[in-house]
Amino acid sequence: MSLLSLSLDEFRKSQLSESGQPYDKIVVGAAAFRYGPNLTSSSILLLKRAAHEPYFPNVFELPSGKVDPDDKSLKDALVREVKEETGLDIVEIHAELEPMTYSKEKAVMDDAGKEVIVSKSAIQLNLVVSVSAGTVTLNAEEHSDCRWATKEELIELDITDAMRVVIQEAFEWATNQ
């Protein structure tokens, strides 16, 4: 997985958005599975965004976060984000899933004091990982709840359509192992 060895700047130069420009925001996400006693039923770790989040409050997502300029590589960012958001350590990275791309529009004031809409592009790189055993410890600033959900339980959870596609792909990967 050479992609994970890239720094933020290296990734921005090597992977351009649909506009042909570097992505404004790079996010890494972890699809972590836990298996039942018979090793056939699996559940995926999902975190519920805090109610005060400006984007998608109270929606479930994979543990994920922005790659910071201080991160030596995308892998370092992934390890850091999973630890910050769950208290768990990544034990192994198994597979890369399809990235999720999106854009955000935000109203900002220009130099003349006029409100303008700015569009920012983002990409979320999602990876299937194994995490250490233990209890999930949430950062209350970011998440209000967590859940190990089976594929069948996904229907009852509030998840964005784009995230649902990523989670389904992760379950397909887990099923084929």
pLDDT at 64: 97
Average pLDDT over residues 35-42: 66
How, if at all, do strands 100-109 and 115-131 pair? Answer: antiparallel
The SS3 assignment for 170 reads helix
Query: How far apart are alpha carbons 60 and 158 in whole angstroms?
Result: 6
**DSSP code of residue 12:** H
37 confidence band (pLDDT: 50, 70, 90) = low
Which tops the pLDDT comparison, 49 or 54? Answer: 49
Is residue 24 scored above 70 in pLDDT?
Answer: yes
pTM score, whole prediction: 0.89
Domain ranges of the chain: 2-175
pLDDT at 11: 96
80 confidence band (pLDDT: 50, 70, 90) = very high
Topology classification of domain 2-175: Nucleoside Triphosphate Pyrophosphohydrolase (3.90.79)
47 confidence band (pLDDT: 50, 70, 90) = very high
Is residue 159 scored above 80 in pLDDT?
Answer: yes
Most confident of 27-41, 70-84, 101-115: 70-84
Express each pLDDT in 111-137 by its tens digit: 898 888 888 899 999 999 999 999 999
| CA distances from residue 41 to 35, 36, 44, 152, 177 in whole angstroms, order as listed | 6, 5, 10, 10, 12
